[in-house]
Amino acid sequence: MQNSVLILDFGSQYTQLIARRVRELNIFCEIKPYNHLPEDLSDYKAVILSGSPHSVRSEPVLHPDLSQIRAKKPVLGVCYGAQYLAHFNGGEVAPSKIREYGRANLAFIEEDSKLFDGIPLNSQVWMSHSDTIKSLPDGVTKLASTDDVEFAAYRFEEESTYGIQFHPEVYHSKDGKKLLENFLVKIAGLSQSWTPNNFVDMTVQSLKEQLQGDKVVLGLSGGVDSSVAAILLHKAIGSNLHCIFVNNGLLRKNEFEQVLEQYEGMGLNVKGVDASARFLKALAGEEEPEKKRKIIGKVFIEVFDDEAHQISDVKWLGQGTIYPDVIESVSVTGGPSATIKSHHNVGGLPDFMKLKVVEPLKMLFKDEVRRVGASMNMEANLLGRHPFPGPGLGIRILGDITVEKVRMLQEVDAIFINGLKEWGLYDKVWQAGAMLLPVNSVGVMGDERTYEKCVALRAVESTDGMTADWVNLPYAFLQKTSNEIINKVKGVNRVVYDISSKPPATIEWE
C-alpha cells in the first residue's frame, strides 16, 4: 500500500467515522492505537490524529511517538489531536468556559488556505470538546474561527501539520468531507485510486502469493461477508477452496436448502452438513445467553473440524472477518476491552485445528464488502441480505431452546421478513428479526382463553452495526404482520415492536 493514510486512535467514538470518510474518497487508510505505531511508516503518505475522551491536561497523557512523522509527513490533528499538537509545542489548552458541543459555523477562514479551499464562510461544523485552545505555539497560523472558538483550525508554518478543533468526519460538518479531501489530495498528494475493482485485483494477487495453491476450508453462513470472502478465494485458488455450510438447526425457515441452491449457481465447491440435532442436544436446558453462544460456537468448531478432516492436506481456514471486528479487538490503551458479547470471527482457533487463518476482508467495512461483491457481479439479493447473527435463532429465543420454539420462531420470522419484502421495506432496513420471549400472556381466541407466547419484532437502520436506530415501520404494516402471526403461528397470541436504539440497547436481545 504505497498510497495510504495512517489514523492514530486516541479512543474517540468517531475514529471509525474518520476511516469511513477517507475510504469514501477512494483512499486507503488504517487505524492503529496511538501507542502501537507500525515499525515501517514508509507506505503512509499522511497521518491523522483522532479525537479522544481524554484531556491533554490530565495524567496519564496519551503521548504518541511522532518523531518519524512530524515534518516528514502531512499531519492533521482532529479535536484532541489538535489540542495535543498545540499544547505540547508551546500553546495553551484550558477548560472551555462554555460547553462547546454541537453545531457551530465558521465565522473566519484564512484566505488562500489549502485546507479550506472551496469551503464557504459560515460553513457548519460539529464541535465536541470540554477543553479549548487558548493560545497557539510560536510559528503557528490561525486558519479558522467560530463565534465561540477562536482557534478552530491552524497550521504550523514550517511544515504540513494542521489542527482542527471540530470533527470533519461527522455528518453535521457540512463540508467535512471536502476538508479531508483538501488535506489528503491537495496537501498530502494522495491519489484517489482505492476502488472495489482495485481491491479485488490486489487481493486476488496477494492471496495467490500467500496461499501458493494450498487448500483452504471456509465456513459459509449464507451472509454477505463469508460469501464475498469465498468468491475472492475462489478467484485465487479455484477448486482448492472447500466450503462447508453447517445447518445448526437455528437458521431461518428453509434457509439451509435455499442457501445451498444459491451457492450452486456461483461455481463454488460447497458441502452442506445438517448437524441440527447435534446442536439442539448440546443446548438442551441452557438458558444463559453467553453460555448458549459458547455452546453453539464449540459445537460448530467440532462439526467443522470433523468435516475439514475429511479433506486431505488442508492448510488454511478462510474467515469473513471484517475491519470493525479487527478494530474492536484492539484496545487503545493496550488492555482488554469490555466484553459485550462473544464474537465468532476474532479470537483465534482451538489448538487442535492446526490451521493457518486467511482473512481476505479484514481491511473492509460492511458497506465496502457489499461494493466489492457488486464489482464481482454477485447477485444483488445476496449482497443486500440483512446481517444474521452467527448463533442464529439461538440468541433470538430467550431462555432455553427446544425444537418447538425453533419452529415457532422460524414461522414468525418468515412472516415478518417476507412481509418487509412484499411491502418494499426490506431494503430500507439494515437488520430485522423476531425474538421469542420467555413469557406467556393471556389472550382470547374464538371466545376461549389462551395463555401463549409473546414475540417481539425488531427492525433497525445502521451503517455498520456499531450504532443503530429503530425503524418507524408503517402502522398498517405492523398491524397486518401482527394479525398474520397470531392467526398462523400456533402458540403465539401477542406481538410487540421494539423501539430501542443502540446504545443503550443492543440490536439482538441476547
Strand order in the sheet with 4-9: 28-33, 4-9, 44-49, 75-78, 161-164, 153-156, 140-146, 92-109, 124-135
Q: Which has the closest alpha carbon to 142: 123, 157, 122? A: 157
Q: Which residues contact 164 (CB under 8 A, 6 or more apart)?
A: 76, 77, 78, 79, 82, 115, 144, 152, 153, 179
Catalytic residue among 29, 54, 79, 411: 79
- Tell me if residue 167 is catalytic: yes
- Tell me if residue 129 is catalytic: no
Rounded Cα distance, 384 and 430, in Å: 9
The 3-class SS string of 216-284 reads EEEEECCCHHHHHHHHHHHHHHHHHEEEEEEECCCCCCCHHHHHHHHHHCCCCCEEEEECHHHHHHHHC
Measured at the CA of 10, the angle between CA 4 and CA 13, to 5 degrees, comes to 95
User: H or E segment at 396?
Assistant: none
Q: Which has the closest alpha carbon to 168: 133, 131, 136, 128? A: 128
- Tell me if residue 169 is catalytic: yes
pLDDT at 218: 92
Rounded Cα distance, 434 and 471, in Å: 14
Rounded Cα distance, 12 and 17, in Å: 10
Catalytic residue among 54, 87, 129, 167: 167
Rounded Cα distance, 233 and 217, in Å: 10
266 neighbors 218 (Cβ within 8 angstroms): no
User: H or E segment at 363?
Assistant: none
Q: Work out the number of other CB atoms within 10 angstroms of the CB of residue 227.
A: 27
Q: Compute CA distances 417 → 37, 383, 420, 496, 497, whole Å.
A: 45, 16, 5, 15, 14
pLDDT at 336: 31
User: H or E segment at 73?
Assistant: none
Q: What one-letter code names the amino acid at 1? A: M
pLDDT at 343: 41
Residue 343 backbone dihedrals phi, psi, to 5 degrees: -100, 150
Catalytic residue among 169, 255, 368, 411: 169
Q: Which has the closest alpha carbon to 15: 6, 2, 4, 25? A: 6
pLDDT block averages, 10 residues each, the chain of length 510: 87 86 93 90 95 87 89 95 94 81 90 94 89 93 93 95 94 92 97 92 94 92 91 95 94 91 86 95 93 91 88 90 72 38 44 79 89 93 87 94 96 98 95 95 78 95 81 97 96 95 88
